[in-house]
Structure 1
């Protein structure tokens, strides 16, 4: 990449970071190409993007942002995971992948809005239910009382039909 291309990359990548709802910084050392490719595919499937960036270019991309000191990010190989859709899904994806691959990759930190999250906070975030799981729980919570209500109505209808049947049988016997 020549100097002009690097400048364009830094500007575009900085804009992506600003637009993302969450940005995770990970150290992917210890993973081979096959594992990194698999991780990138899983991250893409979770609605996020994984980009391996040189630390020097990353430092330039976040230089003008109003962030606390994140200099610890700029050591070792760095993969940046950007998500504009879900906050939990990428963290959960990387955590699950890490459990299967000898604790690799390792989170360095994350930026959520204007807040910097520590590794511990990212771990807690990864344990939260995903958006889809929360929606399923909400639907289940709303569905249960409705099913009970429908069951009560059906019971009353059956009771009414039984009474009408008994009444018609009684009238036939009287005639």
Structure 2
């Protein structure tokens, strides 16, 4: 690879990293062509971009981005693939589902909205993360609940209030 090609790859990686707040780093070495193709298809269905990268080029791209990747460059050893997504838990779900059939991919680390997760043992925690849409839905549900309770109490309480007023007036 020539110096110009390397600088072009670093430039592309830098642009991808700068545009995304969700980056997973995984090891997919040892997967045959068919299995790798199936993994790529699964990622594509979920809107995840999977790309195999050279560690040194990824490290330089991470240095060029303003995001604080903390200790992530230290895990760049061996074969490395990056998974870039919009949804914070989508790559973790794909990895977990894919590992039901195979022992790969192995999660090396992840960067999700300024939080850094290192190690394959973090996979379950990453799967349980809620997406932005799920959190918004829960908040709306929580906000609607008291209003629904008040409205239903007022609707059913019309006869109760009348009864209460009548009882109080009789006393």
Instruction: Give TM-score scaled by structure 1 length.
Output: 0.68
Matches within 5 A, 1:18-57: 18-57=18-57
Partner of 1:147: none
Partner of 1:11: 11
Partner of 1:124: 125
What is the Cα deviation at residue 135 of structure 1? Answer: 8.0
Contact 2:90 2:127 in 1 (8 A): yes
Structure 1 unaligned regions, length at least 5: 143-175
Cα distance per residue 1:62-117 (max 9 Å; x no partner): 123433353122333x110011x21111210111101x233210000001123211
Structure 2 unaligned regions, length at least 5: 144-171
Partner of 1:111: 111
Matched, 1:79 2:81: yes
Larger Cα-atom Rg:
1
Instruction: Give TM-score scaled by structure 2 length.
Output: 0.69
- Secondary structure class of the residue paired with 1:63: helix
Structure 1 vs Structure 2 CA RMSD: 3.3
Indicate which of 60, 63, 68 corresponds to 2:71.
68
Contact 1:28 1:104 in 2 (8 A): yes
Matched, 1:93 2:87: no
Contact 1:109 1:122 in 2 (8 A): no
Distance in 2 of aligned mates of 1:134 and 1:115? 17
- Secondary structure class of the residue paired with 1:70: helix
Change (3 A) 1:118 1:35: same
Distance in 2 of aligned mates of 1:140 and 1:115? 27
Corresponding residue pairs, total = 158
Distance in 1 of aligned mates of 2:37 and 2:17? 22
- Secondary structure class of the residue paired with 2:107: strand
